[in-house]
Structure 1
Amino acid sequence: MKKRIRLIILIIGILYSCVDLMNAQTGIGTANPQGILHVDGAKDNATTGVPTAAQVANDVIVNKTTGFIGVGVLNPQVKLDMRSSGPENALGLSTTTMTAAAAGAGAVRYDVINTPVGAKIEVSDGSVWHKAYIAPQKAVVVARKITSQSITQSSATNITNWNLVRDMSNSFDASLGIFTAPRDGTYTFLLTFNFNGAVINDGSRVESQFYDTTANTVLASVYKTFGQSMTGTPDDANATRSTQAGGSSTVTLTLTAGTKVVTRLWHNLISSGSVALRVTTNSSDPTNPDDGFNNLTIIEH
């Protein structure tokens, strides 16, 4: 029985191994080794010539000159090179109870019990395990108004139907004018506004609001006052003059992830009714005299 087992092992070795004694190269599963040790996992390499990238993708090769190991790579450039043409290039790590000093500087682990932030890749500097941090794509929103909208004075009006220029994190609903904070953090909102000309009341004001649509609360308000319009009163020599009211509002807010914020305007510029925002009559023409007055920028810090 033992002799039969030895014979079977010998036959398997003959069938699936090739030792190039001249060049001291060993092939397992291939008769055409490309390194000092070459394992052809799928046994699909040609018997001559250089195997294709697809054939090498399932191979393990030890370079005969450098000793570098290539997993799916014919000519490894570093001590362990896994950058093959195939899709299976993940490197599996697990945790260790070793201290950072015991593991040594440059050691890497996957800490599955790292609380409170959850599992993370960690790197040892020789003394401490440090979390490997990947910065998220910060929110940056740039939008402008190119469609007319009237702002009433009975209640604050949500500014909607923005023309979206940029949204780096897909956090802004341009139709509803709602920004959703992608994560806990600090956000700066810059709103510029301008109304069509109207005979406005002396001492009138415009209020910019930054409104939490979930909690139904005003997170911040900014006021702009106007007091030089000619309204036809005796102190104005009974003359009237159309005046444009405009301004800008900047606030910085600390928001939790998922908070929804919309910009709103309220005014008492005229005695009653509404005043329309000044928007371009030709959105494709940046030189249009009515272009560029109503804009919103949101930046995550």
Structure 2
Amino acid sequence: MMNKHTKKLLLLLALNGYIGTAYAQTGIGTPNPQGALHVDGAKDNAATGAPTAVQVANDVIVSKTTGFIGVGVLNPQVKLDMRSVSTENALGLGTTTMTAAAAGAGAVRYDVANTPVGAKIEVSDGSVWSKAYVAPQKAVVVVRKISSQSIPQNTATTIVNWSVVRDMSNSFTASTGEFTAPRDGTYTFLLTFNFNGAVIADGTRVESQFYNTVTSTVLASVYKTFGQSMTGTSDDAGSTRSTQAGGSSTVTLTLTAGTKVVARLYQNLIAGAVALRVTTDASDPTNPDDGFNNLTIIEH
């Protein structure tokens, strides 16, 4: 027969085992906890087996082995893991008036009050709050001319109806040839051009212009002159020769956000219009007329 001391010891052992079991795995909203602490927000988990990814999406779990917290994640891989199948995987931060030293190095806040004023994420290095910099998607535009267009004599004409190869910032309008600067910055424009063959006059030129359509201003221009073409005059022994005028222009411009720029060509090669040399088969890169008229724009 057990004495009172033995009974007390057995009762303590029993209580200790119960508490240990409860501590090892606790479920809130679920009878089937998968971690040291498991909260089933929607109470939609099965009574047995592991919950599905959709069911876990509304759960909060503390790992039994690492102590890591998973929000919508069954097996968190870091101290706070929120990478679930759900589309609400965002971390909400508020502002604080604590100094960077008081908050400690590594603290993060969402600040709207301090200088510079405006919504921003700030990180403490233990001494100062510093604005977190997020690099914007820089503008990179690559377009080519595959549709016919003639450039009249003595009239600066915008090159339109480009075919877009790449426009990473959606800042180029192909039909009008208009580039809109997405932000204040420095931009380099590279234009290559080539005309169909024509008997061009001596001492003529082609001028590439980069033109602001809002202020009606030529921002930059590049000249290429042509001479010694055989035009049938006496110094050419009465002979003529068809010549393809072409060239390239590179300019770097400092633009403010919203500035609209087009590439224009001016020519006085002949007494009339000259057509740009474009491919007759845009799907064939080996076509002998492909790739002569191109525009590239790069934001620095």
Give the shorter-chain TM-score range: 0.7 to 0.9
1:1-301 pair list within 5 angstroms: 21=21, 24-116=24-116, 118-270=118-270, 272-301=271-300
Q: Distance between the aligned counterparts of 1:111 and 1:23, measured in 2?
A: 39
Q: Distance between the aligned counterparts of 1:249 and 1:114, measured in 2?
A: 46
Q: Distance between the aligned counterparts of 1:283 and 1:29, measured in 2?
A: 63
Please give the per-residue CA displacement for 1:99-142, whole angstroms capped at 9, x wherever unaligned: 22222221111111244462111112222222222222211111
Deviation at 1:156, TM superposition (A): 0.4
Cα 1:232–1:149 change in 2 (3 A) is same
Deviation at 1:19, TM superposition (A): 7.6
Cα 1:99–1:225 change in 2 (3 A) is same
Secondary structure of 1:54's match? helix
Q: Distance between the aligned counterparts of 1:156 and 1:211, measured in 2?
A: 10
Deviation at 1:53, TM superposition (A): 2.1
Q: Distance between the aligned counterparts of 2:243 and 2:181, measured in 1?
A: 37
Please give the per-residue CA displacement for 1:246-286, whole angstroms capped at 9, x wherever unaligned: 1100011111122111110001112x211111112222222
Taking structure 1 as the reference length, what is the TM-score of the superposition? Answer: 0.88
| Structure 1 residue ranges without an equivalent (≥5) | 1-17
Instruction: Kindly provide the amino acid, as one letter, of the partner of residue 205 in structure 2.
Output: R
Matched with 2:10 is none
Matched with 1:4 is none
| Structure 2 residue ranges without an equivalent (≥5) | 1-17
Do the aligned partners of 1:140 and 1:298 also contact (CA within 8 Å) in 2?
Answer: yes
Deviation at 1:179, TM superposition (A): 1.0
Cα 1:284–1:98 change in 2 (3 A) is same
Deviates more, 1:30-39 or 1:150-159: 30-39
Q: Distance between the aligned counterparts of 1:122 and 1:215, measured in 2?
A: 39
Cα 1:19–1:70 change in 2 (3 A) is farther
Matched with 2:4 is none
Taking structure 2 as the reference length, what is the TM-score of the superposition? Answer: 0.88
Alignment RMSD, CA only? 1.9
Do the aligned partners of 1:213 and 1:260 also contact (CA within 8 Å) in 2?
Answer: yes
Deviation at 1:288, TM superposition (A): 2.0
Q: Distance between the aligned counterparts of 1:23 and 1:100, measured in 2?
A: 37
Deviation at 1:74, TM superposition (A): 1.7
Cα 1:282–1:55 change in 2 (3 A) is closer
Cα 1:30–1:289 change in 2 (3 A) is closer
Q: Distance between the aligned counterparts of 2:94 and 2:173, measured in 1?
A: 41
Deviation at 1:291, TM superposition (A): 1.6
Deviates more, 1:286-295 or 1:200-209: 286-295
Instruction: Kindly provide the amino acid, as one letter, of the partner of residue 278 in structure 1.
Output: R
Do the aligned partners of 1:194 and 1:247 also contact (CA within 8 Å) in 2?
Answer: yes
Identity of aligned residues (%): 83
Deviation at 1:215, TM superposition (A): 1.0
